Structure 1
């Protein structure tokens, strides 16, 4: 085998860049298959014996695409100090556990408002149906996302930011500009976004992340700005997984019943949705020092990409394309590197998302509209969030008011 790292061709680099959506991009484009590069990755791995591949960038230098499990473990476990996390995964060291009860209560309030709107007025979407004295509402992504973004803004900046929809629109515009390398537009949006964030941060509302940042000694304004921005982004991209979890439960009655009775089972269902359709399809690292790969020296600052989505759906996994919450409960997932415990932000987001779903399930029973998901077929690699709709039928108990 020749020494040195292989280089992807221009066409291969373009295809890989289009498939491995960067972490700052929106959760998913309508109908986009984040795993469509699997055949290309498999071909590259076979062609080069599993060695990492240098992928060309548009403006920055080349990135190292790590393909084999052996090399993934080198980056994430064995030599982890030599590979700094990308900024979107970097821990900020805030004692966020103290905020968990307040954040969970916020999630419950917003979820209750969502189900109340669906079940008492039928106004959630034009597809609401009335059966006798009961109204059956329909949850779609736009309405669920609007409520979840309120959760995100309230958790990060406090109740004063609950209705600041412009803040969320600016963040979405920034991510799109970043994906399209629209430098000038990104700069303009960034200035407007930062100014809006600073207004909320300076309010330092108690019980919010902004309030916690204000109480933290030696917390520079610029660092607080970055923390709040990435927390808002981290919360925000979870909206798709919440709707996907709801749709999976609608088509898997046994899991729906177990999830209503056991919060840990519901959390496992949410983690399964995140495995099946990960909002961040590639982990990013940056070399902190010069590293050597197969005879090639990489300078400090070289991006390293791990195609997480492909490994989570690897054909070697017997449950790759199935909805299998039990792997998060019986220890199966614990043996996989891609299921390693996440940072505090991940655990907190899972707790808040689970509370949101639990409130929806307490007040209503989901039923899928259409056939995009089925317990009798493999789970598809892509689900069009814009078309995914779940009918919510009220439970016997009267839905709680927010």
Structure 2
């Protein structure tokens, strides 16, 4: 096999481009059509012997990682491969705030224990959890803040496709409105919130906006995983029963919801220095893409398309590189999300509406959140005898 990095052909780049989320940056690879994506990655892996492939990204060449060995090299490196952007949030996951955040999650989840729960209803409650944890109770009802953040993010993705003054101007207007609203909440520096901790940091003024935005986005990404997990538990009564009595098992169920339908199907890293790959030097500043979703649902895994919380408890997932959370913020979000689900299951029993997630057939690779609905049946408690 010749040394050096292979380059994707024109046809392969076209196939890759057709699978990119639209609009979106290159790290959203695989989101549109997971089955076609898996087939294409298998073809590339076979053709190039598992070596990384140079592909055409939105902002120039990018390195697409195909093998487990190379993925481990990237995710385990300390400094050579950094996320494109990350919040400087050291200390913000302090145990001092965690009990208060868990109580916020339980309070908001208490509104989801009756009637039909769909993704918009669950997401609205989870967004309140996010705003209260990040900015304090004063931001609980500020739905416009979340809408503006979504609009700014969407506008940024569209800009990657459309160049022009109109697109840039729209994003600037949205960003200005969002920043002004966010600054008001940050200035309150409400005690017991992440904003309160940010305000006490020595570089609060320069980094406050970025940190707060990242934390709010991080919480928001978990909404789909919570919906997936609640729907899975509704469709799998034995797992639901175990999760209701065991917080560790429930946490494992949430990890499964995130594995089966990850919110971000690929990790993006940027080289911070020149790196050598199979005899080719990859310059600093080059994007490296790792298709995590393809590894998590690899057909070689016996549990690939099944709901298998036990893999997070028996050491199976611990041996997989893709199972390691990328940052402390994920730990915090999963902990709060587990408390959120636990409060729902404590007072109600979810029953599936329809058979979107049947326990009798492989779980689908793609899932329309709008089709997931559960009916909540309140749990009847026996009166305590005197």
1:138 corresponding residue in structure 2: 116
In the other structure, the counterpart of 1:96 is 93
1:134-193 deviation digits (Å, cap 9, x = unpaired): xxx110111111111111111111111111111111111122223322551333322222
CA contact (8 A) 2:5 2:280 kept: yes
**Equivalent in the alignment of 1:196:** 181
Give the match's secondary structure for 2:374: strand
Mapping for residues 178-327 of structure 1, pairs under 5 Å? 178-180=156-158, 181=160, 182=162, 183-184=167-168, 185-216=170-201, 218-327=202-311
Establish whether residue 381 from structure 1 lines up as the match of residue 378 from structure 2: no
8 Å CA contact retained: 1:158, 1:208: yes
User: How much does 1:393 deviate?
Assistant: 1.1
Separation in 2 of the partners of 1:370 and 1:10?
A: 43
CA distance in 2, matches of 1:279, 1:23: 15
Does residue 138 of structure 2 align to residue 160 of structure 1?
A: yes
The answer to whether the 8 Å contact 1:54/1:65 transfers is: yes
**1:85-131 per-position Cα deviation (integer Å, ceiling 9, x unaligned):** 2324x66212422211111111111110232xxx3xxxxxxxxxxxx
Equivalent pairs counted in the alignment come to: 370
| 2:68 match | 69
Decide whether aligned partners of structure 1 residues 221 and 16 sit closer, same or farther in structure 2, where only a CA change above 3 A counts: farther
Higher mean Cα deviation, 232-241 or 12-21?
12-21
TM-score scaled by length of structure 1: 0.87
Say whether 1:173 aligns with 2:157: no
- Partner of 1:44 in structure 2? 44
The alignment status of 1:110 with 2:108, answered yes or no, reads: yes
Q: How far apart in 2 are the matches of 1:238 and 1:285?
A: 21
Cα gap change, 1:17/1:203 in structure 2, threshold over 3 Å: closer, same or farther? farther
Choose 316-325 or 167-176, whichever is displaced more: 167-176
Matches for 1:9-88 after TM superposition, within 5 Å: 9-17=9-17, 19=19, 21=21, 32-58=32-58, 60-77=59-76, 79-88=77-86
Cα distance 1:323–1:104, how it changes in 2: closer, same or farther (>3 A)?
same
Q: Work out the CA distance in 2 between the residues paired with 1:20 and 1:358.
A: 35
* Matched-pair contact (CA < 8 Å) for 2:119–2:373: yes
SS in 2 for 1:373: coil
Matched-pair contact (CA < 8 Å) for 2:20–2:32: no
Q: Give yes or no for contact 2:234–2:240 (8 Å, CA) kept in 1.
A: yes
Verify the 8 A CA contact 1:266 1:354 in the aligned structure 2: yes
Report Cα offsets for 1:34-90 as digits up to 9, x if no partner. Answer: 4531111111111111111112123x221111111111111122x4421112324x6
**Preserved CA contact (<8 Å) 1:23 1:282:** no
**Deviation at 1:10?**
4.5
CA contact (8 A) 2:21 2:32 kept: no
In 2, Cα distance between the equivalents of 1:91 and 1:46? 40
Structure 2 match to 1:369: 353
Structure 2 gaps, min length 5: none
5+ residue gaps in structure 1?
120-136
